[in-house]
Structure 1
Amino acid sequence: MLNIALSGCNGRMGHVITDIVAGRDNMQIVAGFDINTAKYADFPIFSDPFEFQGSCDVIIDFSNASSTEHLLSYCEQHHTPLIICTTGHSPEQLQKIRAASAAFPVFRSGNMSIGINLMSELLRKSAAVLGDQYDVEIIEKHHNQKLDAPSGTALMLADAVASALPYPAEYVYDRHERREKRPAHEIGISAIRGGTIVGEHSVLFCGRDEIIEIKHTALSREVFATGAVDAAVFMAGCKQPGMYDMNDVIASHAQ
């Protein structure tokens, strides 16, 4: 039996993950961590992970970037693998996450969808072929309650493109003060917030007389929850400290 602790259990994604786990065999949520401790399922909820006196095989975190450092301390003390699904971390927080992975296994991805991670690979291949002959623009759309902009997924896709371009790319988030033609070595990133959009990401390679668009649309939060639970299965069997991501999960499926 895979025992999971769920950080951010009373959020939207926490409830979806709870439903996903309930529908699978050989796994269960044994504790939830959330500032809102209202109980809605058959596991206890704690406002502080250190209040939990039981044990778990892995922690899934869909809470807030401000909670990450406290979770890192808990996982280091208990040697528990941590799956960080939360986005919006500062560079200093990301450095602390990388440093913590020397002591215990840490999984982090800008997006938990397998489709998005396959899209990242397509973008790397496209950028390698198209090179500096095409301008790259990224448009991301999310619901009006999302806090961070641009999304962690948009940055993840930009990084995938940039890693294969023949030049160091500059990420540009706002052009309204730029009174100049578009420089060649930009990656433009635009964020849209409205309604109940779950998540939509488009990457455009704009060349002379043609546009190539690679797009992913999430129709429900379940795609992210499923990826997080799949990551939990992978990480529960991972005993070596280090940084892991969805590419490792995809590789394990291919074996």
Structure 2
Amino acid sequence: MTDILLCGCSGKMGTAVRNIVANRQDCQISAGFDQVPMQLDFPVYTAMESIAEHVDVVVDFSHPTALKSLLQYCKKNSTPAVLCTTGYSAEQVKNVEEAARELPVFYSRNMSLGINLLMELVKTAESVLGDGFDVEIVEAHHNQKIDAPSGTALMLADAVNGVRENRMKYTYDRHSQRKKREQNELGIHSVRGGTIVGEHQVIFAGQHEVITLSHSAQSKELFAVGAVNAAVFMAGRGPGLYDMGDLIRDGI
């Protein structure tokens, strides 16, 4: 049985994780952390240093500002972390990578199996199509999402850029530019509205043909399922930086 500390347990994704865990036999939520505590069937804390329960893994769906205290807690208790929060700064990502030298850290900007398959397809398409195709990424989310572009859009952009040996320049806004598109540009565009869970399109536009690879999330539940699978996977792992690729290769 994997004992989970759920950070952000009172939020929408925290609720989704609680619902998934309630129907599984291989894990349970032993404690929660949230700045807006609720009465739940496990203790909920507003300070990481106050947590008394033993846990096997931390699952984080909270806020980027909680990262420092979360990593401190994990280092102090030698506890693996599954980081599902988006909107980290470049410095915070560096902190995550540094923490993984002494801790087991699972970090993915998107916990969906489908999105990670899309990323592999995008890499294949880019390697086949090459510089002759312009690449644009369009992402859409609900009107309550704070960060833009989405972490998933950046993950997909990085996948393209990796194939092109990091020669691409990310362009987020063109309204102030009066010039032709440069060949090494990679456009990233954000849409916010309604209750859209998450939609991502990667457009490869060439001469007289366009190829579009896309993914549409129908429910936040799919991200919760991925997070819980990652939590069970990470319990007992050694130090290192893990992602969805490791989970997929493990057959979960």
TM-score by length of 1: 0.97
2: CA distance, partners of 1:28 / 1:151: 30
TM-align CA RMSD: 1.0
Q: Give the corresponding residue for 1:242.
A: 240
1: CA distance, partners of 2:149 / 2:116: 17
Say if 2:25 is the partner of 1:25: yes
Q: Give the corresponding residue for 2:188.
A: 189
Deviation sequence 1:198-236 (CA, Å, 0-9, x none): 000000000111110000000000110000011011101
Query: Post-superposition, which runs of at least 4 consecutive aligned residues in structure 1 deviate over 6 A?
Result: none
Q: Give the corresponding residue for 2:199.
A: 200
Q: Give the corresponding residue for 1:252.
A: 250
Q: Give the corresponding residue for 2:12.
A: 12
Mark the runs of 5 or more structure 1 residues left unpaired by the alignment. none
1:37 aligned partner, one-letter code: P
Deviation sequence 1:13-52 (CA, Å, 0-9, x none): 000000000011121100010001121x311100012111
Deviation at 1:63, TM superposition (A): 0.3
SS of structure 2 residue aligned to 1:38: coil
Say if 2:177 is the partner of 1:174: no
Q: Give the corresponding residue for 2:52.
A: 53
SS of structure 2 residue aligned to 1:95: helix
Q: Give the corresponding residue for 2:219.
A: 220
TM-score by length of 2: 0.98
2: CA distance, partners of 1:2 / 1:96: 26
Task: Please tell me whether the aligned partners of residues 37 and 47 of structure 1 are also in contact (alpha carbons under 8 angstroms).
Answer: yes
Deviation at 1:56, TM superposition (A): 0.4
Deviation sequence 1:57-91 (CA, Å, 0-9, x none): 00000000010011000000000000110011111
1: CA distance, partners of 2:164 / 2:55: 42
Q: Give the corresponding residue for 1:165.
A: 164
Q: Give the corresponding residue for 1:230.
A: 229
SS of structure 1 residue aligned to 2:146: coil
2: CA distance, partners of 1:178 / 1:99: 38
Q: Give the corresponding residue for 2:115.
A: 116
SS of structure 1 residue aligned to 2:210: strand
Deviation at 1:165, TM superposition (A): 2.1
- Report the count of equivalent residues: 252
Deviation at 1:237, TM superposition (A): 3.3
2: CA distance, partners of 1:71 / 1:227: 20
Task: Please tell me whether the aligned partners of residues 135 and 187 of structure 1 are also in contact (alpha carbons under 8 angstroms).
Answer: yes
Task: Please tell me whether the aligned partners of residues 132 and 166 of structure 1 are also in contact (alpha carbons under 8 angstroms).
Answer: no
1:213 aligned partner, one-letter code: T
